[in-house]
Amino acid sequence: MKNIKDRTESPKSDTKQYWSVMTFYERFEHVISLMLSVIISIIVVFALLQLSIEVFNLLLLDMLSPLDHKVFQLIFGMIMTLLIAMEFKHSILKVLERKSHIVQARGVVMIALLALTRKIIIVDFSIIDANKLFALGFVIISLAGVYYILRKSA
């Protein structure tokens, strides 16, 4: 039963409980995290609305096939952008819920991997040169290695 109670407690009640013992900087960090969380939430809502409008326009009004490579790239690029924003918000929520004091490096590396995955999805391989493709692959492998090391050390 204790786990259920812990999950139902809101970050707001947790903040009230610890606000008096927080240092000035911890309060500052908490307020900034809250503001960033609200801003990212607004961005996610508007991006979702824009994605919905775009999908409606592309698939229903223009009668384009979702299997068309360009439509696929556009739609999934937008979806990946939303996923990146939500992962970023999740890392900020950890600060608000006092699960960590600052945004953790593992979360930042995960967001970078998601951004690179988005880049792979939307890249037009007919116009990218081999050097850029090699560099992109090298960065992905490097970040995956860093993520692995961070995960093993935790």
Task: Write down the domain spans for the chain.
Answer: 2-153
pLDDT score at 100: 59
Mean pLDDT of each 10-residue bin along the chain, 154 residues long? 49 65 81 89 93 83 70 84 88 72 74 88 83 90 91 81
What is the reported pTM? 0.69
pLDDT score at 121: 81
Chain center to CA of 94: 13
pLDDT score at 10: 53
pLDDT score at 21: 74
Round the average pLDDT of the chain to a whole number and report it.
80
CA–CA dist 32, 86 (Å, integer):
17
15: its two tokens? 């903040």
Q: Is 72 helix (H, G, I), strand (E, B) or coil?
A: helix
